[in-house]
């Protein structure tokens, strides 16, 4: 397991693209040799396969203008053709609110380039919501 500056750069580019042109980013960076999976923040956000993901990203990006995603302190590692990224990014909404999130990304190297195989972003829920402490 080796730290991966290339994967840190990939996730930072993803955050920038989520604020501008997410469809173009995912078109270029989604895995093709494996079936990619994106799990979003809402309960029904679970998409599998390039075409389903790209269609959803195109549709959702139309209604998400003004939302910026900022990195916390992404860490990334690789071994062979497998890599992963973890971070605690935050969504910055147009009205000034900040929503903290958690991100895990699994990547696969295809033809010398890192591609996203799994992207999972979630919003933390306080344990009291679940009835635990």
Q: For the chain, what are the domain ranges?
A: 2-124
User: What pTM was computed for the model?
Assistant: 0.92
SS3 34: coil
**Which residue from 35, 60, 59 is spatially nearest to 48, judged by alpha carbons?**
35
Give the residue ranges of the chain where pLDDT is below 50: none
Q: Are 73 and 88 in contact (CB under 8 A)?
A: yes
What fold does the segment set 2-124 form as a domain? Nuclear Transport Factor 2; Chain: A, (3.10.450)
Q: Would you state the pLDDT for residue 63?
A: 63
**Which residue from 96, 95, 115 is spatially nearest to 105, judged by alpha carbons?**
115
Q: Would you state the pLDDT for residue 88?
A: 98
Within 8 A by CB and 6+ apart from 34, the residues are 108, 117
Helix (H) or strand (E) holding 14: helix 5-18
Q: How far apart are CA 94 and CA 102, in angstroms?
A: 20
The model's pLDDT over 79-109, given as tens digits with 9 standing for 90+, comes to 999 999 999 999 999 999 999 999 999 999 9
Eight-state DSSP code of residue 83: E
């Amino acid at each position: 397991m080796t730290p991966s500056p290339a994967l840190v750069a990939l996730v930072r580019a993803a955050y920038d693209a989520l604020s501008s042109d997410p469809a173009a980013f995912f078109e270029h960076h989604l895995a093709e040799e494996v079936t990619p999976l994106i799990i979003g923040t809402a309960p029904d956000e679970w998409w599998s396969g390039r075409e389903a993901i790209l269609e959803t990203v195109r549709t959702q990006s139309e209604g998400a203008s003004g939302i910026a995603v900022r990195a916390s302190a992404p860490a990334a590692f690789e071994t062979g053709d497998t890599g992963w990224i973890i971070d605690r990014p935050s969504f910055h909404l147009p009205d000034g609110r900040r929503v903290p999130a958690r991100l895990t990304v699994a990547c696969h190297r295809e033809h010398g380039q890192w591609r996203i195989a799994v992207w999972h972003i979630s919003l933390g829920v306080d344990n009291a919501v679940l009835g635990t402490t």
